[in-house]
Amino acid sequence: MSAVPDNLKYAKTHEWAKMEDDNIIRVGITDFAQEELGDLVYIELPELGRKVTAQEQCAVVESVKTASDLFSPVSGEIVSVNEALVDEPEQVNDDAYGTWLFCIKANDPSELDALMNADAYQQMIEQ
């Protein structure tokens, strides 16, 4: 398992979030999550333009073992999805922190403050 990057915020549901320019939040799943799921075979991405609230289910990842819901870390609008993952979901297995799933234009970027930092997330997954 790789180190948990310090420059990201983490949800208890194993999504990572990264603040970009213009209140855009880039979202993916953690290395721990992809490790637990196993080989990903399908990713259902949210629709562009969809309005989401923090902690709302908005995407699904399926592996050979199970399916898992993904949740929005912040409230806002889906402004981008990583279309390449439709044909190559295994990219997430190869590089969980380098492969984003979708981007949200945040209504209130301070919602990121409610997420865990790398140390807190590391402690959670070690329990």
Distance CA(58)–CA(79), nearest Å, equals 13
Q: How many C-beta atoms surround the C-beta of residue 91 within 10 A?
A: 17
Q: What percent of the chain clears pLDDT 90, i.e. is strictly above it? A: 96
CA distance linking residue 80 with residue 58, whole number of Å: 13
Q: How high does pLDDT run on average in the chain?
A: 96
Mean pLDDT of 11-29: 97
Query: What's the pLDDT tens digit per position in 24-79?
Result: 999 999 999 999 999 999 999 999 999 999 999 999 999 998 999 999 999 999 99
Give residue 3's pLDDT band: very low, low, confident or very high (50, 70, 90): confident
**pTM to 2 decimal places:** 0.95
